[in-house]
Amino acid sequence: MRSVRAKDIRVGSVTIAALSRRVAALAVLASIYAFAFPAATAAQTLRIVALGDSLTAGYGLSEREAFPVKLQAALKVKGHDVEVINAGVSGDTSSGGLARLDWSVPEKTDAVILELGANDALRAMDPAVTRKALDDAISKLKSRKIEVLLAGMMAPPNFGGDYAARFNPIYPDLAKKHDVVFYPFFLDGVASVTKLNLRDGIHPTAEGIDLIVARILPKVEELIARTRANRK
């Protein structure tokens, strides 16, 4: 009885030997693709750290109502593949944020939304101290090749014009100096609006956060565009 060789066996119009060669070729192509494009989807995900105080942390709100969570959801609706990490600490000053920057902004962070200074103003801290801390924080981030969106803050009006004249220019000055994306006032449209703030009159409600997200969104998209452009 004649033995049957693999090359003689057919599956439809194709021999087993030929089919095996095609499978092997596909396996080689798959391995080449995996080597050339490792974890393509994961590599495209941008990691954005929101480094701030209670306004970022979500004081008085549930976790899902905090600014970073709502911002991530809004960005994903617009088709952006991002992860927004909440690195907000209630009560933090600009100097406090600088002190913890190295461990609050982990490796492989692509961009940072820097929202600090509100507590400096509320405590009437020397604007020179705030300016230096923010300046140093941006310099550190830039040295790590991390793109920055600087969220501005305004001095409370009851502190008088002299204090405001020293505090308010900090943010536009630093944004220009470091050429970072700039959003002039984080609480724009929310500050002093009773229904958009908690009873303390300082921290936004969930609805207030929604408005902040909606208004800052174009600047965050600019941040994303810069980050992706610099990846190329």
Which positions are catalytic?
A: 54, 200, 203
Q: Are strands 10-11 and 46-52 parallel, antiparallel or unpaired?
A: unpaired
CA 89 to chain centre: 16
Sign of CA dihedral 67, 188, 122, 207: negative
Give 3-state DSSP helix, strand, coil % of the chain, rounded to 5: 55, 15, 30
Contacts of 194 (CB under 8 A, 6+ apart): 201
Euclidean distance between CA atoms 225 and 139, whole angstroms: 20
Euclidean distance between CA atoms 135 and 195, whole angstroms: 34
